[in-house]
Amino acid sequence: MSLDIKKIRDDFPELARSVHGKPLIYLDNGASTLKCRPVIESLNKHYSEDAANIHRGVHFLSEQGTIEFEKSRTTVQAFINAKNTHEVIFTKGTTDSINLVANCFAEAFLNEGDEILLTTLEHHSNIVPWQIAAKKKGAKVVEVPINDQGEILIEEYKKLLGPKTKMVATNHISNSLGTINPIKEMIALAHEVGAKFLVDAAQSVAHAKIDVQDLDCDFLAFSSHKIFGPTGVGVLYGKEELLNEMPPYQGGGDMIDQVSFEETTYNDLPHKFEAGTPHIAGVIALKAALDYVSSIGIKEIEQYEHDLLTYATEKLSKIEGLRIVGTAKNKASVISFVIDGAHPHDIGTLLDRQGIAVRTGHHCTQPLMKRMNVPATARASFCFYNTKEEVDALVAGIEKTKEFL
Catalytic residue numbers read: 364
Closest CA to 2 of 386, 299, 391, 314: 299
Is residue 324 within 8 Å of 339, Cβ to Cβ?
no
Is residue 131 within 8 Å of 106, Cβ to Cβ?
no
Closest CA to 287 of 39, 120, 63: 39
Reported in sequence order, the residue ranges of 224-275 that DSSP labels E, i.e. its strands, are 234-238, 256-259, 264-266
Is residue 170 within 8 Å of 98, Cβ to Cβ?
no
Task: State the burial class of residue 365 (Cβ atoms within 10 Å of its Cβ: 0-12, 13-18, 19+).
Answer: buried
> Would you give the DSSP letter of residue 208?
S
Helices (H), 219-361: 240-245, 280-296, 298-317, 344-352
Q: What share of the chain is helix, strand, coil (3-state, %, to 5)?
A: 45, 20, 35
